[in-house]
Structure formats: C-alpha cells, structure tokens
C-alpha cells in the first residue's frame, strides 16, 4: 500500500496538523473517564444525531443545570415529565423523538446493572444489544462502545466516507460495514487509536483548510 493510502500515515498527518483532539473530543478521547463522564458521552451520542455539536453542548448544559445529566435522572424525567426533558434538549432538534431514544437507552443501562457492569460484556454481543434499541443505529452504537465503554470498534460517519474519497482509499464500498472493516483490518486493534483517529477525521473534515488531495 502506498504511503498516502496507509491509514497510519494518514493518522500521523492529522495528528501533526491538529495535535491531540480538543473541545468535545477532549472528553470523548479521555482515557480514564469517571462514571458521570461515561454517561455524558452516552447521552451526547444520542443527542448528536442529525444536529451539530454546538446544539448538543447547549442541551447538555441545560441537563446539568437541572441536575439531569446522568442516565438515571434522564430516565426519570423521560418517564415522569417528558415535556420538561424535551424542553431541556430542544436545541438538538427532533427533541420529542430523542426523549424516547434517551429513555430507551437509559433504561437499557439501568436495567442491566449500569455502565460498569455492561462494559464487561463481549463487544459483539453488546453491539447487537445496542442495535436492538429503538433509535440506536450503527454510528450511535459504535460511538457509545468506543468512546463511553472503551471497546475497540471504529466509528464510521460522513467524515470518514469523505476521507476515503479524498484519499482514494482502496475500499470496495463506502457503506458502513465495508468501511469499518477496511479501517479495523489495517489498524492495530486499539480503542485509544480508534478514538483519536476518528476524532481527528471529524476535526479535519470540519476544517475548510483541509485539502482534498
């Protein structure tokens, strides 16, 4: 594989240009997260669907201001006062739908013993369970697995697809499964590397200065 198509070469290029991922990614790429931080990532992974991160930040700030930034408090609000929860996350768009998604995800973690206990489950089994939850697709499930539960699985999004096109990566398809498999087969199996690489792909993709070459 030529140097420009080598994924580690691309990762090192991004790392030299942008350094360690910052802002949102400062928390998401943090190696030893506290339980509240892990739960914040899970909530954020659901809220960020079909919106930008600034809107998620506003919603998370509202939740924390009302002492509702944990899975248990989000679940209780979704169950007992869904209108209030909807107003707290209104900035994210599709907020009524996301109330339902948050309730389902929070219930899953609470019902199964919490984040720490669930983290001990095998990756494949846990991914299948997450994908069965209403409102959790592959990107959301893998974001939770990688960034909240430290599981070595590569997240694919539109920025990943854009990078593959820009770098003319020799992937046979840009669908989720094929592109994820392309990355995981060519990179060391490391959740730390996967976290940083995916975060830097997003950072680079949002930077208008990045060349398409």
How many domains does the chain fold into?
2
Could you read off the pLDDT of 127-141 as tens digits, one per residue?
999 999 999 999 999
Region 54-66: mean pLDDT is 97
- Determine the Cα–Cα distance for residues 190 and 116; give it in Å rounded to an integer: 20
* H or E segment and range at residue 194: helix 191-206
Which residues form the domain of 168? 3-26+154-206
What's the confidence (pLDDT) of residue 67? 95
What's the confidence (pLDDT) of residue 37? 98
Crossing angle for the helix pair 35-47 and 53-65, to the nearest 10 degrees: 130
| Last residue of one domain, picked from the residues 101, 122, 148 | 148
Region 100-114: mean pLDDT is 98
79: pLDDT strictly greater than 60: yes
- Determine the Cα–Cα distance for residues 193 and 100; give it in Å rounded to an integer: 33
180: pLDDT strictly greater than 90: yes
Q: Give a yes or no: residue 173 inside a domain.
A: yes
| Last residue of one domain, picked from the residues 106, 131, 148 | 148
pTM: 0.94
Residues counted in the chain: 213
Q: Would you place residue 208 in the very low, low, confident or very high pLDDT band (cuts 50, 70, 90)? A: low
Residue 137 φ/ψ region, left for φ over 0, alpha for ψ in the -120 to 50 degree band, beta for the rest: beta
Q: How many angstroms separate the most distant Cα atoms in the chain?
A: 57
Q: Give a yes or no: residue 190 inside a domain.
A: yes
Contact 138, 156 (CB under 8 A): yes
Region 143-148: mean pLDDT is 98
What's the confidence (pLDDT) of residue 5? 60
């Amino acid at each position: 594989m030529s140097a420009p198509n080598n994924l580690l070469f691309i990762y090192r290029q991004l790392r030299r240009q942008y350094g360690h991922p910052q802002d949102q990614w400062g928390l998401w790429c943090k190696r030893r997260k506290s339980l509240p931080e892990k739960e914040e990532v899970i909530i954020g992974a659901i809220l960020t669907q079909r919106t930008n991160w600034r809107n998620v930040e506003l919603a998370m700030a509202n939740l924390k201001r009302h002492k509702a930034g944990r899975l248990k408090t989000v679940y209780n609000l979704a169950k007992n006062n869904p209108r209030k929860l909807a107003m707290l996350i209104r900035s994210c768009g599709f907020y009524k739908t996301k109330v339902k998604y948050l309730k389902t995800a929070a219930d899953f973690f609470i019902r199964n013993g919490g984040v720490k206990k669930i983290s001990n489950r095998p990756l494949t089994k846990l991914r299948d369970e997450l994908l069965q939850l209403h409102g959790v697709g592959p990107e959301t499930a893998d974001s939770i697995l990688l960034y909240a539960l430290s599981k070595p699985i590569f997240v694919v999004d539109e920025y990943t697809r854009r990078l593959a096109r820009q770098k003319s990566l020799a992937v046979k398809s840009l669908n989720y499964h094929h592109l994820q498999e392309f990355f995981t087969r060519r990179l060391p199996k490391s959740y730390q590397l996967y976290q940083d690489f995916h975060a830097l792909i997003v950072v680079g993709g949002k930077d208008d200065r990045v060349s398409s070459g």
